[in-house]
Amino acid sequence: MKIKWDIEHVYFYLVSFVALILIIIGAVNLTQTAIAFFTPVYEDYSPFSPAWPNPDITRWEEKFGQEFIEAEKERFDKIALENYNRSLIRDMIRGLAFISISLPVYFYHWRKIQKLEHIPG
């Protein structure tokens, strides 16, 4: 079978190719999100992290007390976890959007190619 390289054929093949790439990107995005969900890696960049000591913590502790520091650390950790979960949801929705938008575009254009080439199926 020989492919005709007129504008119509090139358009349909090009759009099908781009849609297929977007489906692959969406699938990769969903896979990465699933991996991040089941194997969370949380980097502690908080001012309370022992790896990144903040000199202001000692001044806060002297001025407000240890209870204040513990309450702030808990509040900061809660906000960081909420942000992490929110980013996972956003990434999952992005992957689903890539797939759900590009899949119908791919199938439509691929069927058009088959009709142009008179290929059954």
pLDDT above 80 (res 42): no
Calculate mean pLDDT across residues 17-30.
Answer: 97
In a domain, 51, yes or no: yes
How far is CA 104 from its chain centroid?
A: 21
Res 118: pLDDT: 77
In a domain, 85, yes or no: yes
Structure tokens at 20: 């297929």
pLDDT band at 120 (very low <50, low <70, confident <90, very high): low
Which residue type does 13 have?
Y
Distance CA 39, CA 28 (A): 16
Q: Structural domain tally of the chain?
A: 1
In a domain, 1, yes or no: no
Calculate mean pLDDT across residues 40-61.
Answer: 72
In a domain, 52, yes or no: yes
In a domain, 2, yes or no: no
In a domain, 93, yes or no: yes
Single out the residue of 31, 10, 15 nearest to residue 101, CA to CA.
Answer: 15
22 and 98 in contact (C-beta within 8 Å)?
yes
Distance CA 56, CA 61 (A): 8
pLDDT in tens, 62-112: 788 888 888 988 998 899 889 999 999 999 999 999 999 999 999 999 999
pLDDT above 90 (res 22): yes
Res 53: pLDDT: 67
In a domain, 36, yes or no: yes
Q: Which domain holds residue 46?
A: 7-117
pLDDT above 60 (res 8): yes
Higher pLDDT, 94 or 3: 94
In a domain, 69, yes or no: yes
